[in-house]
Amino acid sequence: MTELFSALRVNPDRMLGAFNQLALFGATGDGGVNRPTFSEAHLAARKWFREQIEGSGFEFKIDGAGNHSAVLTFERSNIKTLLLGSHLDSVPKGGRFDGALGVMAALEVLRTVKENGINLKLNLEAIDFTDEEGTHLSLFGSSALAGHLHPEDLQNPYSGRENFTAGLARAGLTEDGLLRAKREKESLAGYLELHIEQGKRLERAGIDIGVVSAIVGYGSYRMSFMGRADHAGSTTMEDRLDAGQGVAAFILAAREIVMRDFPNCVANVGKVEFAPGASNIVPARVDFLLEFRSPNEAQLSMLDDALMKSVHQKATQFGLQLRTEPLGKHLPNLMSANIQQAFQDSCSTLRLSSTTLASGAIHDAQSLVDVCPIGMIFVPSVDGASHAPREFTNWEDCINGANVLLQTVLRVASE
Ligand SMILES: [Zn+2]
């Protein structure tokens, strides 16, 4: 890295101005934003982003999935593109930092590179991926760009077919277009994203930047314990085959297993239904959903085994029948080791503290894992809050993140 490069910084006032303007679209009056994909507020934010891109003299690009980008090209022909970005949509009544910070930082990086007349070996593109949060189809813009979207995926959107097709029409998009948004692998050099942590680890440790090592993988099951319905007043505690006791014991055991043997993992029983479901009948059956996550493939499988062993033990202990049905398994997505190193080197240049951590939440980066090298950094979330209006990151931390992104772009694109 030349001295000129390592001295470069983003313009904090310009980035704050853009960030605050963006936060007006769908503002809920309590610090949050309501910008579900293809809502009026979301479409207005997209239009504003396009005006920002064109007003700054960048080439504006839109693909069939509605992904918007600012493109900054350099002199050599046939060079690859380094993507930087995140998403402008929000969950219903969400926060103003999730996604928006990454897009505004990406645009600010391009503005800084352009105004300094820097010539890089990779083209840069600041991209807003459509519908990261899954109002219609989770990660659909990035999946479409990666070529992972198939016609059958469009048949069962979360929002229902009617809302989905109406939303596409409002945005001027078509299903055909979505399926044709794929970019060729050969054209992409990598994808970098700045995001808020959405957890408390950085704040708790007093660390400036989290370099993401992986996006966790997960497994999930639908399970049932079957016991026997009995009179809840006249059947003694010893005589019961109580399915409810089985699930209660398993929930506590799962917590203990994770905290004792898998400290960087999580497990959750998020839904429990008792049947017949009355205060005076011993539960004959309980249906429940289990999900668990890990940043490491081998560990995910060990955690799976440990939880299965425990649920079988509880069935035996309480005299219950057990039924288990796997719902899905998604392996962890690893970030590029080279990009992680570049992020860490950038933190050193900027004298910022950093640590590596796994992301427990999904992000657009994972769509691109088999297309190009991917990398992500997190900045601290105050009190870990996210997907809520009280979501907040100190502006100094946002600027630190943007400068790490800038320095890393200069490293990766000048090698
Ligand atoms: Zn996000």
Cα distance between residue 65 and residue 153, in whole Å? 13
The CA-based angle 358-391-349, given to 5 degrees, is 55
Q: Which of 396, 337, 330 minimizes the C-alpha distance to 360?
A: 330
CA of 206 to the centre of ligand 1 (A): 22
Whole-model pTM: value is 0.89
CA of 54 to the centre of ligand 1 (A): 25
Cα distance between residue 411 and residue 82, in whole Å? 12
pLDDT digits (tens, 9 = 90+) for 297-321: 999 999 999 999 999 999 999 999 9
Phi-psi map region of 396: left, alpha, beta (phi>0 left; psi -120 to 50 alpha): alpha
Asked whether residue 116 carries a pLDDT value surpassing 80, the answer given is yes
CA of 90 to the centre of ligand 1 (A): 8
- Which pLDDT value is given to residue 77? 63
CA of 202 to the centre of ligand 1 (A): 17
Cα distance between residue 20 and residue 115, in whole Å? 22
- Which pLDDT value is given to residue 158? 87
Tokens describing residue 93? 């009544």
CA of 292 to the centre of ligand 1 (A): 21
Q: Which of 178, 138, 144 minimizes the C-alpha distance to 158?
A: 138
- Which pLDDT value is given to residue 4? 83
Asked whether residue 323 carries a pLDDT value surpassing 90, the answer given is yes
Contacts of 278 (CB under 8 A, 6+ apart): none
Higher pLDDT, 398 or 76: 398
Strand residues in 134-284 grouped as ranges (E): 188-196, 209-215, 217-226, 266-275
- Which pLDDT value is given to residue 75? 83
* Span 275-302, average pLDDT: 96
* Span 137-147, average pLDDT: 93
* Span 395-401, average pLDDT: 98
Cα distance between residue 53 and residue 68, in whole Å? 9
Q: Which residue has the tokens 């970005």?
A: 85
CA of 238 to the centre of ligand 1 (A): 50
* Span 162-187, average pLDDT: 95
| Chain mean pLDDT for the chain | 96
Q: Which of 402, 397, 401, 331 minimizes the C-alpha distance to 370?
A: 331
Q: Are 33 and 10 in contact (CB under 8 A)?
A: no
pLDDT digits (tens, 9 = 90+) for 359-393: 999 999 999 999 999 999 999 999 999 999 999 99
| Count of CB atoms situated within 10 Å of the CB of 287 | 17
Q: Which of 270, 268, 267, 324 minimizes the C-alpha distance to 294?
A: 267
Tokens describing residue 233? 């007043």
- Amino acid residing at 73: T
pLDDT digits (tens, 9 = 90+) for 187-214: 999 999 999 999 999 999 999 999 999 9
CA of 7 to the centre of ligand 1 (A): 29
- Which pLDDT value is given to residue 55? 96
CA of 198 to the centre of ligand 1 (A): 9
CA of 177 to the centre of ligand 1 (A): 24
Using pLDDT thresholds of 50, 70 and 90, give the confidence band for residue 156: confident
CA of 73 to the centre of ligand 1 (A): 27
Looking from the CA of 166 toward its CB, the CA atoms found within 13 Å total: 8
CA of 86 to the centre of ligand 1 (A): 7
* Span 75-90, average pLDDT: 91
CA of 319 to the centre of ligand 1 (A): 44
Asked whether residue 123 carries a pLDDT value surpassing 70, the answer given is yes
- Which pLDDT value is given to residue 1? 67
Looking from the CA of 224 toward its CB, the CA atoms found within 13 Å total: 13
Using pLDDT thresholds of 50, 70 and 90, give the confidence band for residue 328: confident
Q: Are 190 and 101 in contact (CB under 8 A)?
A: no
Q: Are 242 and 281 in contact (CB under 8 A)?
A: no
CA of 194 to the centre of ligand 1 (A): 10
CA of 231 to the centre of ligand 1 (A): 50
